[in-house]
Every structure is written in structure tokens, then in C-alpha cells.
Amino acid sequence: MTNYNRRSFLTKAAITSALAASSFSSFGEGLEKAVERTPMASAPSDLKITDIKCGYIRNGHSLFVKIYTNQNIWGCGEGVDATPGTYHLVKMFGERIKGKSPLNVHRLFEDIRRSGFFEGAQSGMFIAVLSAVETALWDLAGKALGLPVYQLLGGKFRDRVRVYCDTGTYRDTDKTPKHFADSAKEAVKMGFSAVKYDIDEFNDPSKYDRYNWTASPGELERMYSQIAAVREAVGPKIDICVDMHGRYDMTTGQRVAKMFEPLNLMFLEEPIPAENVEAYKLISESTSTPICAGENHYLAYGFRRMLEIGAVDIIMPDLQKAGGLGEGQRIANLANLYYVPFAPHMVASYLGAMAASHVCASVPNFMILEWQIYFHEDPMFKEIVKFDGPMVKDGYIPLSEKPGIGVEINEEGMKKYAPKDVPFFV
């Protein structure tokens, strides 16, 4: 396990305590026990990055990094989606931060970002990998200072983080309203008070064709029937989220949002692609259904225009690819100036879920975090990490109080899921 080094001043404090306790035990014995109980390490200023290594799962779409130091302390981070083929990018970032103090998280983030202006440091793979590295730096800093990440981010507004359960029906061949309703009832039985469904179906027989983004009457009927069945199954007090994955046009987005108004959705997610925020504004202004977007936007810059013009009602950056934890907090604080809720997208492992939870706890305008049913159904997601306590309880993630993120990478568990012919933590 990582040696959660306190610092030399804590050693001195322990010695002072031992001296004060000498009336209850001999001086020598008290001093010896105090020193034994106190982790020994050099001062924080001597902490230096020595190496960075990485591994992948899910055909490269999940990246895990470990940053090592000269004090036998390491930090873990995760990036998602825009990560296949990025091994050499990770190693390049590592060369840029070796020999530096990992405690200067924001400075190292800026060092890497600014050095990549002509390498794509505005979005995509560059920022997804930087998100993993930045997260690992926060984990490392928390372990070195003996504090959970939320404390490094300025403290917490809440002790647990509410999540909605993505029920995963997009993987199922059964698309009937009854199947949707049954899965919703099962999620509620598991303790969740919010559920999410995907309604974009590329193989819907009612589609005009696979390239036409306008939904046909048959598609609209299928969408409404599925979600209406969910509402009937769970009643009025369970939140329902609906995702369209940016696969439709603006007029369809307007029609679907209007169609769902009687069902009182928590939000309608990405009815159109991410690039045109002005089109999002047209949809948002046409309906009382809250419109949500942001998983395909990067850095706080990517959310500025969206918030300035009131394009969406809720923002949902993915903290495993939008820039990391510090950038996630900046995005949330920017949204808070516009009184817009913060509801992060999350398709990572439990390491990513807990990392995101530290940010969610640290901002006032947090609404809800995404949670995947695969945590309960796929044993891989328990094998690839080490953690204490339940992952989720009664629809909430209990916030870790351990130093750093509070979740560790299990390299042995991950190894059997690593893609072939890709370097694994070397």
C-alpha cells in the first residue's frame, strides 16, 4: 500500500506528544512508540515525479495512469473515450513533468496544456489524456499530504453524491416498453431514485435512413412509448433522464422535448451534436423539458459560449475527458455564475466515479452524477480497482475520506482485460 507520508513537521509533533506523555510511560519507550507510529519522509518540497506508466482496458477506450515519485507515493488517474492509441502521448506528458513537484497540480496542468497549443491541446485525445494525468496528480498530492481530494479542492458541501442509474437497455435486443419499465422497477428496487434511458436506435426499422437525422413518426412513437412506460412503472417521484447521443437534428430535438413534457423528465441529453450551441438554444427556448449537454465539450472554454447564451439548462462535462478535476470544478463554478446545475457525465471505472465525486462534493451547484449498471453486472469493474466499503448505497456514492481519491488501481485484476499488443504499465 502507499505510504501516506505526513511530513517532517508531524514527526516533530509526535515527538513533542511523546515527551508530554512521559509521566505515563518511560521517556525512551514513549519516544520510540511515537517515532514508530509516525511515517518518515522528507519535506513536501523534496517530493519529485520520477515516472509515469499506463494501462488500458475496453479496447483502449479506458486509460489508467500511475505517476510515481521519489518517496514511494504514487497517484492514479483515468481518462475515457478519446484514449485509444495514446500510449506515447502519456509517455510524452511524463517527460514534461519528470523531476517536478506533483503538489503543483494546476501549474503542471498548465505546463502540459500550454506546451501543446499546436498538438491539439484544445480537445480530444490531448485533453482526455491530460485529464487522466491531472487526476493522478490530485490523488498523489492528497496521499502525500494525508488529505482526501475534496479537501484539496476547498472542502465539501455534502458527504455523499447522488447518482442516476444508466440502465443499459441500449445493449439489449428487447426494446419493448415493458422491458424498459421492468428495468426501471429493478433499478428503483436497488435503491436508485433516478434512472436514464437511451432512445437513439440506429437500427430502428422506422428510420428514413441511417444518414437522415430527422426522426420519423414511427421513431417518435417508439421513443414516447418506451419512456411513458418507465414513468408509469416508477411513478411521479422518480427522476427520469433521456439521452439522444447527439444523433438527431434540431427540429427533431424540439419535437422530442415537447413530446416528453407531460412525462416530467429530469433532463433530455444531447438531442443534437455538440458543435452548434446556438441550435441548442433554439431547442431549450421551445420547451419546458430541461435540456442537458456537455459530455463532448472540453475545458472550461468549451462551456463559456454555451452558458453565456443560455443554450442549455444543465451542463454535464465528463471529468475523465474534459480536463480533469480542477478543470471540472472550474466548469462547475462558471456554471454557478449563471445558476446552471452541474450534472457530470461518467462512463469510467469506480476510480473515475470516486474522482468525480470529490468534485461533485466540492461545488454548491451539483445536481446528480451518472452511474452505470455495469458496476453491478460486470465483474471486471470490481476486479480492476481496490476500495473500501460499498460502491454505492441507496442511490448515493459515499464520499471517501481516505487520502487522495480513495480508490486504487488493481494492476493484476486489470491485466487480464488489457488489449493485446499494447504496453501495460511499462
pLDDT along the chain (426 residues), means of 10: 44 40 42 43 79 98 98 97 97 97 97 95 97 98 97 98 95 93 98 98 93 97 98 98 98 98 98 97 98 98 98 98 98 98 98 98 98 97 96 98 98 96 96
* Cβ neighbours, 10 Å, residue 5: 25
Centroid of chain to Cα 387: 16
Task: Tell whether 409 is covered by a domain.
Answer: no
Task: Tell whether 408 is covered by a domain.
Answer: no
Task: Tell whether 130 is covered by a domain.
Answer: yes
Q: What type of residue sits at position 158? A: R
Domain that holds residue 241: 152-402
> How confident is the model at residue 153, as a pLDDT?
98
Task: Tell whether 182 is covered by a domain.
Answer: yes
How is residue 288 annotated by DSSP?
S
How is residue 372 annotated by DSSP?
E
Residues 229 and 296 in one domain: yes
3-state helix, strand, coil in the chain (%, to 5): 45, 15, 40
Nearest residue to 259 (alpha-carbon basis) of 237, 296, 295, 231: 231
Q: Say if pTM beats, i.e. exceeds, 0.85.
A: yes
The dihedral region occupied by 156, where left means phi > 0, alpha psi between -120 and 50, and beta the remainder, is beta
Give all strands (DSSP E) within 231-320, no chain letters: 239-243, 267-269, 291-293, 314-315
How is residue 345 annotated by DSSP?
B
Residues 229 and 342 in one domain: yes
Q: Which helix (H) or strand (E) holds 128?
A: helix 124-145
Q: Which helix (H) or strand (E) holds 350?
A: helix 350-362
Count helices and strands (H / E) in the chain: 16, 13
Residues 182 and 77 in one domain: no
Pairing of β 267-269 and β 291-293? parallel
Task: Tell whether 294 is covered by a domain.
Answer: yes
Residues 114 and 237 in one domain: no
Residues 313 and 201 in one domain: yes
Residues 221 and 243 in one domain: yes
The number of domains in the chain is: 3
Pairing of β 49-57 and β 369-372? unpaired
Integer Cα distance of 191 and 100 in angstroms: 45
Residues 211 and 242 in one domain: yes
The residues near 44 (Cβ < 8 Å, ≥ 6 apart) are 7, 101, 103, 144, 145
Integer Cα distance of 139 and 151 in angstroms: 12
Integer Cα distance of 380 and 392 in angstroms: 16
Grid cell locating 278: 446556438
Residues 187 and 314 in one domain: yes
261 and 285 Cβ atoms separated by less than 8 Å: no
Residues 259 and 117 in one domain: no
Grid cell locating 314: 444543465
Task: Tell whether 424 is covered by a domain.
Answer: no
Residues 30 and 116 in one domain: no
> How confident is the model at residue 199, as a pLDDT?
97
Integer Cα distance of 425 and 52 in angstroms: 8
Integer Cα distance of 43 and 261 in angstroms: 58
329 and 309 Cβ atoms separated by less than 8 Å: no
Task: Tell whether 423 is covered by a domain.
Answer: no
Phi, psi of 44, deg, nearest 5: -55, -30
